[in-house]
Chains A and B, each alone.
Chain A
Amino acid sequence: GESVGLHLPTLSVQEGDNSIINCAYSNSASDYFIWYKQESGKGPQFIIDIRSNMDKRQGQRVTVLLNKTVKHLSLQIAATQPGDSAVYFCAENMIKAAGNKLTFGGGTRVLVKP
């Protein structure tokens, strides 16, 4: 079936630097693309999402970019902090799908070095 995947399994970043996490998707019919952060022992936590008709969306210290031509999604974290250390997942969501279920990729672990 269609799936969402990631390029890099682990990303080491110096504190204060910017982080970029990438994701490739295959379902061009998805309506939303969502980034989640998951810390050890916790459930995924919503970070930011972007509708399929947008190219860029900014939040607090985070920016999501969507390139529909190459089916690529990225999450940029500005001035990475130790608290940003976690696993990050991209997910896609089709509004038409029953219950708006989410399809997740495999995750990227971000390690912030002091």
Chain B
Amino acid sequence: GAGVSQTPSNKVTEKGKYVELRCDPISGHTALYWYRQSLGQGPEFLIYFQGTGAADDSGLPNDRFFAVRPEGSVSTLKIQRTERGDSAVYLCASSASGTPGREQFFGPGTRLTVL
């Protein structure tokens, strides 16, 4: 398949633990986005990468959240000292650079549950 993939599909962790969520974008897409979706809500923007650099991280809620994209392809969202309020579905999307929002393709998401 040529779509956006995310692993794991589900992650259950305990409060205070560290987690990593992975996103594999569509091949050739230089733009990559992370969104967070709480139950019954629309996705909320977290961070945007253009290539290897984070061009906009204004949506990250606090310094416990960090994301990297070292080679301009796969990205990892890292959450330190997880809290119960971090429980949500974390969505990744990718697009070709410069295209409007319609051309962001979303992955299935990682459901994170913090106990």
Contact = CB atoms under 8 A, between A and B. Distances in A.
Given A42-B108, A93-B100, A107-B42, A99 B31 contact: yes
Most chain A beta-carbon neighbours within 10 Å: one of B41, B42, B43: B42
Interface residues of B, number: 29
Interface in A6-39: 31-32, 34
A4 B45 CA distance: 13
Contacts of A49: 100-102
Given A44-B43, A91-B101, A106-B40, A99 B48 contact: yes
Contacts of A95: 100
A89 B42 contact: yes
Given A41-B108, A42-B108, A93 B48 contact: no
Nearest to B93: A43
Contacts of A107: 40-42
A4 B44 CA distance: 11
B25 interface: no
A100 B102 CA distance: 9
B102 A93 contact: yes
Interface in A67-114: 89, 91, 93, 95, 97-107
